Amino acid sequence: MMCEQRLELVLPHAALRDEFRAVVAEYRAEGESVDRSLEPVLDDFDEYLRQIAVFRQGQRVPRGYVPQTTYWSVLDGTTIVGLGRIRHELSPALFYEGGHIGYTIRPSFRRKGFGTRQCALLFEKALTDHGLRKVLITCNEENTASRRIIEANGGVYESTVISRHSRKPVRRYWVRLDTA
Ligand SMILES: CC(C)(COP(=O)(O)OP(=O)(O)OC[C@H]1O[C@@H](n2cnc3c(N)ncnc32)[C@H](O)[C@@H]1OP(=O)(O)O)[C@@H](O)C(=O)NCCC(=O)NCCS
């Protein structure tokens, strides 16, 4: 009998410290970062946890940032397969192109459906834990995988804008979370 592996979103925690270290190394080997905004502290796990907590609690958040919660996607309680972020509100910049939700899947776990499942779990959390009834989610126009993930999870296309950072087109979608 086929049995789907258990995937859950958890707050980053010290029991998976070594696992997280392996994830950081895997991203770097691919020339990527598991979390670009926290790259300077990824080698200092305690500081990484501290900074995540600061953002989650919304205290001393740097100017221009909003409170956000970071989750790890953990498979069967042991393997980190991705990371997602829920911003608790939209700043003008997030409304323009960043959206409420950000995510990444660990390179060796891509193209197995985890991105689609992780996005669904992030939407659930956004409603149940953060009270967001409607979220904005965006992707670069050229990011086919992300576009498919958003559309498979009920994203309703609103518009395309030109990124103020990359100057490339970014697709903006809204998702209603309180319809079930
Ligand atoms: C985008 C990303 C999250 C996709 O994760 P994933 O686990 O590979 O996604 P899935 O396996 O659920 O695939 C989703 C869909 O995209 C397709 N897909 C996945 N990778 C693809 C690729 N490189 N090129 C084209 N299509 C791709 C899959 O076939 C699937 O299509 P389907 O639903 O029609 O079958 C992952 O590639 C990633 O972390 N990229 C770097 C960070 C990033 O781009 N984050 C999103 C920012 S908006």
Task: Give per-residue pLDDT as tens, 25-84.
Answer: 999 999 999 999 999 999 999 999 999 999 999 878 888 889 999 999 999 999 999 999
What the block records as the tokens of 57 is 């609690």
- Our CA dihedral for 32, 34, 40, 44, rounded to 10 degrees, sits at -130
8 Å CB contact between 114 and 141: no
DSSP letter, residue 35? -
CA distance readout (Å), 13 to 19, 33, 47, 124, 161: 11, 19, 12, 21, 37
pLDDT of residue 135 exceeding 70, the answer is yes
CA distance 78 to 80: 7
Q: How far, in Å, from the CA of 147 to the mean position of ligand 1? A: 8
Tally of CB atoms within 10 A around 169: 12
SS3 state of residue 56: helix
Say if ligand 1 is within 6 A of residue 49 CB: no
Q: How far, in Å, from the CA of 171 to the mean position of ligand 1? A: 15
Tell me the CA end-to-end span of the chain in Å, nearest whole number. 29
Say if ligand 1 is within 6 A of residue 148 CB: yes
The CATH number of domain 7-176 is 3.20.20.70: no
8 Å CB contact between 20 and 45: yes
pLDDT of residue 12 exceeding 70, the answer is yes
Q: Average pLDDT of 122-139?
A: 98
Say if ligand 1 is within 6 A of residue 123 CB: no
CA distance 176 to 180: 9
What is the sign, positive or negative, of the torsion defined by CA atoms of 3, 8, 85, 95?
Answer: positive
CA distance readout (Å), 20 to 35, 84, 123, 144, 156: 12, 14, 23, 27, 34
- pLDDT one-digit tens code per residue, 148-178: 999 999 999 999 999 999 999 999 999 999 9
- Our CA dihedral for 138, 7, 21, 40, rounded to 10 degrees, sits at 20
pLDDT band at 124 (very low <50, low <70, confident <90, very high): very high
Provide the whole-model pTM: 0.96
- Ranges of each domain in the chain: 7-176
